[in-house]
Chains A and B, each alone.
Chain A
Amino acid sequence: MKKRYQALSFWKKTAVNLTAVLVVYAAIMGLSAVGIVNKYYMGILLSTCINIILVVSLNVTTGFLGQLTLGHAGFMAVGAYSAAFLSKNLSGLPDALVFILALMVGGIVAMIFGVIVGVPTLRLKGDYLAIITLAFGEVIKNVLLNLDIVGGASGYIGIPRYSNFSWAYWLAVLTVGATMALINSRQGRAIISVREDEIAAEASGIDTKRFKILAFVFAAFFAGVAGGLYGHYMGILEPKTFKFDKSIEILVMVVLGGMGSIRGSVIAAIILTVLPELLRSVASLRTLMYAIALIAMMLFKYDPNLVKMTAKVKNKFRKAGKSA
């Protein structure tokens, strides 16, 4: 069946994808209407959608551009705060319009920061680039802590709670669609070529600087939108939400989903948002188990000895399955 799908033309594939997406949406909304999925679970689903947007957008800089960026939470923060600022100060327009404008403003302000962060990174590589993005993320958080006009350390309160599952779901779909569209284009290939071999890309006529900025700006925009969604869901924003830990949380989802894999990002975002919620009962053990799981997953994925061992075990199961 996979082969039949892949043989379809672009528009037919898109139709199939859209139908699947609609069916899932209808199913969830249906379950919610009859009360099987209650408000608590809808909240988890909403958070999942926000995380999907964050993870897929981070994958653009980390997976496709190949640069480890540790400040993604900073883009989310500026998006969240600017969106909230707009919706709190804009009056006289219908709610939906205010929300859309707020999200757009959040995305655009985040984009501007994408340029601000992106430009200094143009001459840096690898670890240094990671460090400078980390530093930017922290500066943003610290500045927000001291910006009393948006509440400072006590938080920005009274944000109208416009977010709901529907908004989050369709924005997540939009993010995934836009990212796929970018990657399957000459611009997307150019971004990937920078990851593969920057010198060869330049020698082929690619202005690598332009594409690095493009990747940053694209990723930042959607992170900003995710921030806007988040702020209008919580009703309150605190700078401490957006510290380094948040950037790492998203990065872990990208890595576990597979760098450069949009589908993997979506799956990882779902699993790593839902799982901690299910483990809420053992909250004190939660971080510990998360840490152990993280280390274990890293080792099983990249330790050559463990990889060999797992392959052997898998083979044994395969043989046992065949002989049974």
Chain B
Amino acid sequence: MLQFLMQLINGLNSGSIYALIALGYTMVYGIAKLINFAHGDIIMVGAYVCFLCLTTWKLPLAAAIAISIVACTLLGIVIEKVAYKPLRNASRISLLITAIGISYLLQSSFQLIFTANPKPFPTIISLPALTIGGISIAATYYITFLVSVILMVALHLFVQKTKTGKAMRAVSEDAGAAQLMGININKTISITFGIGSALAAVAGILYCASYPMVTPYIGSLPGIKAFIAAVLGGIGSIPGAVLGAFILGLVEALTKAYLSSRMSDAIVFIVLIVMLVFKPSGILGKNVKEKV
């Protein structure tokens, strides 16, 4: 029983990180109909910038985090402007390939700067562990969970209540109509990319708080998994991304513990396949039929 609860907590931990990343995927897909393959690598950038701030420039933690978030936000906006915006009317495949190109660009440039050798990430959370009913929950776990939940709620309120948030939703529904209503599409899309990248930066920092090794490739696998989570929950749906991420985190943790840790990745993908066969629009997604 204790073991089971521990696994649940593990699952919630990875789920929180996946959620932060998945939100970026789902928002960008909703608004630009683009699967931003480079999104996973923004996590890596966030981690490295924070690493640089803490170790080389010896800045205080708050500053490091802030700089990392700002850097990633700017990076996301710049990537969108330079690589995705010009291709907005091109085919899906071209956008996909460009996104893949950006992903490789980020990975290889950071490999050139930092080499592929893993760098130890300094401990940033040195709070005591929480003990509930016999289980000891490490500080990284509850901090990750808390931060993620706070950010998710903040995002939800932003999207629902603010003017910009409503603009984001409008552009996702119908970009043409939104434009006719006076909404600045370019600005809205840039903001979406910015927010997604900022969340990715936080995800990167939290990831390294739990697994303190940075390499240029740390964004790859969590990126794909977060993407699966977004699809699972219904790509384009913000609550869907969160739901999908936690389900994925839990499935992964429980599979690793009770079935086979080697096959956990395969099982995650099989879950995705099953989902796509029976309900491609995801748990919370909508079915859109083509008009003949």
Contacts and interface: CB of A to CB of B under 8 A. Distances in A.
A and B touch in the complex (CB under 8 A): yes
Interface of A: 62, 68, 120, 123-124, 126-128, 130-132, 135-136, 138-139, 142-143, 145-146, 199, 244, 248, 251-252, 255, 259, 284-285, 287-288, 290-292, 294-295, 298-299, 301-306
B135 interface: no
B108 to A, nearest CB: 4
B108 A259 contact: no
A120 B260 CA distance: 26
A145 B107 contact: no
B98 A299 contact: yes
Given A295-B98, A299-B87, 16 more contacts: A62-B93, A120-B277, A127-B235, A128-B280, A130-B35, A131-B231, A142-B263, A146-B266, A199-B290, A284-B112, A287-B111, A291-B101, A294-B97, A294-B98, A299-B83, A303-B86
Main SS class of interface, A = helix
A288 B112 contact: yes
Given A255-B94, A306-B86, A139 B101 contact: no
A132 B108 CA distance: 27
B266 A291 contact: no
Nearest to B116: A284
B90 A135 contact: no
B269 to A, nearest CB: 4
A299 B269 CA distance: 32
B276 A131 contact: yes
Nearest to B274: A120
A208 to B, nearest CB: 14
A299 B270 CA distance: 35
Nearest to A136: B273
A142 B101 contact: no
Contact of B273 (A139, A288, A294): A139
Nearest to B290: A199
Contacts of B33: 127
Contact of B94 (A123, A132, A288, A302): A302
Contact of B266 (A68, A128, A139, A305): A139
A290 B277 CA distance: 35
Nearest to A306: B86
B86 A305 contact: yes
Nearest to A305: B86
A63 B86 CA distance: 23
